[in-house]
Structure 1
Amino acid sequence: MKKNVLITGANRGVGLALVNAYLNAGWHVFACCRQPDLATELQQRQNETEALTLLALDVTDHQAILSLSQQMADIPLDLLINNAGYYGPKGYGFGNTDADEWRKVFEINTIAPLKLAEAFYPQLKSENPGIIACMSSKVGSMTENTSGGGYIYRSSKAALNSVVKSLSNDLLPEGIISVALHPGWVQTEMGGPNALIAPQTSAKGLMHVINNLSKIDSGTFLDYQGKAVAW
């Protein structure tokens, strides 16, 4: 029986690479993005395999999240990957923080992963308890922050890490594992052309880490190579 994974932000970058990695591993992938009609690579993969279901979802629309969960009520989830992310403005510096953009980044990076976990909790706890994997970033680490700046994105990922820790405390007694993952500095629209690794390298590493998680790993912050990242 195929395992099921739901991936947000699945139309490009690490999300798209994760879709392909899990399809190649024989999983059924539920790939979410805001505009599936514009996601040409996902559409092509959907034409090639019945193991890919392409779904429209704006992760900031909480009613849409609930509706999707109701639509998938009878489908057990082995894995929820909260990958959708937004960096916000760059290079603004101290004294120039755009509060509206800050709210938008928090909606996508911090609030949405929790609302998805809440909505898909029934599917994650049915049959074999599943895994909630939230795409965080090393820049959300307090220990790693030695350069300052990046107030908006840094704070959203630090807050996401706190969400993951609470999810672990609340859901691990039922067998559901929750982790924060650092994908590496990846060559994506967000990471830029000078990044160190390709999306495929990140996705392969992330999948290996997720596949080898045990209950003792719940509530931890790991990179794509399985190394612990300091809070």
Structure 2
Amino acid sequence: MSTVLITGAARGLGLDFTKQYAAKGWKVLACARKPDALKGIAGDVHHYPLEVTDYGAVKALAAKLADEPIDVLICNAGVGGEGGADAQTLGTLRPDVWRTVFEVNTLAPLMMAEAFADHVARSSQRKLIAISSTLGSIANNTGGRYFYRASKTALNMEWSCLAKDLESKGVICVALHPGWVQTDMGGPTATLTIEQSVPAMVKVIDGLKPSDNGRFLQYDGAELPW
């Protein structure tokens, strides 16, 4: 049986990732601050309360799951920042919001990767996935959203580093953009539904090969510029 660990698993993209992998017959290690929303999901779903910025708790969970090979680790938990895009323009910038966005979107995924890299390396599939965003693309930058854009650009750099540092262990590290999705963060006018985005991402993850290590991909598998 294959195993997936998902952060931010109780809502939005993470909740649908949990449902999709459970329906495929995978063992799902579903991590969330409040995992109550996961209790009704059919399948081999294991619930773990986890605040991804509590790095002691991250290490403790990694130790608890020390004997668990993890085929796919999906670092999905993320925030847009208090006040949304309007609070991330020149003249409105708040350092406290910047710190929160970077803590959740950039530092926490790296600490998850560090804690669980060996679990992934011991598995059959060996896939380490960061849910990133095309807003982190420097080549496609249109300005604004300073904190969110910068947090995802930094996340992409981390995954590029991981791709090099874990290559000898056969780990496939990929940054994946879900598209503009109708979630609490994406809003109701986004171009994709969760039901369109997540199954497409699962298909991309299923198809990843060692040659894909270090790539930045869209939900449909298209290459994105750094």
Aligned residues: CA RMSD: 1.0
8 Å contact kept, 2:71–2:123: no
Q: Give, in whole Å, the separation in 1 of the partners of 2:99 and 2:212.
A: 30
Written as runs of structure 1 = structure 2, the 5 A alignment for 1:1-231 is 2-37=1-36, 39=37, 42-45=38-41, 48-49=42-43, 51-88=44-81, 89-90=83-84, 91-92=86-87, 93-128=89-124, 130-146=126-142, 148-231=143-226
Q: Any conservation in 2 of the 1:14–1:200 contact (CA below 8 Å)?
A: no
> 2:4 corresponds to which letter in structure 1?
V
Q: Which amino acid aligns with 1:144?
A: N
The answer to whether the 8 Å contact 1:129/1:174 transfers is no
Once the two structures are TM-superposed, the CA of residue 184 in structure 1 deviates from its matched residue by 0.5
Q: Tell me, in whole angstroms, the C-alpha distance in 2 between the residues paired with 1:222 and 1:168.
A: 14
Structure 2 unaligned blocks of 5 or more: none
- What secondary structure sits across from 2:166 in the alignment? helix
Percent of residue pairs bearing the same amino acid type: 45
CA distance in structure 2 between the aligned counterparts of 1:96 and 1:195, rounded to whole angstroms:
24
Distance in structure 1 (CA, Å) of the matches to 2:22 and 2:31 = 14
Q: How far did 1:35 drift?
A: 1.4
Asked if 2 retains the 8 angstrom alpha-carbon contact of 1:144 and 1:230, the reply is: yes
Contact in 1 for aligned 2:72/2:125 (Cα 8 Å): no
Q: TM-score, normalised by structure 1?
A: 0.94
Helix, strand or coil at the partner of 2:102: helix
Gaps of 5+ in 1: none
Q: After TM superposition, where is structure 1 displaced by more than 4 Å over at least 4 residues in a row?
A: none
Structure 1 SS opposite 2:25: coil
Task: Give the Cα separation in 2 of the matches to 1:149 and 1:74.
Answer: 44
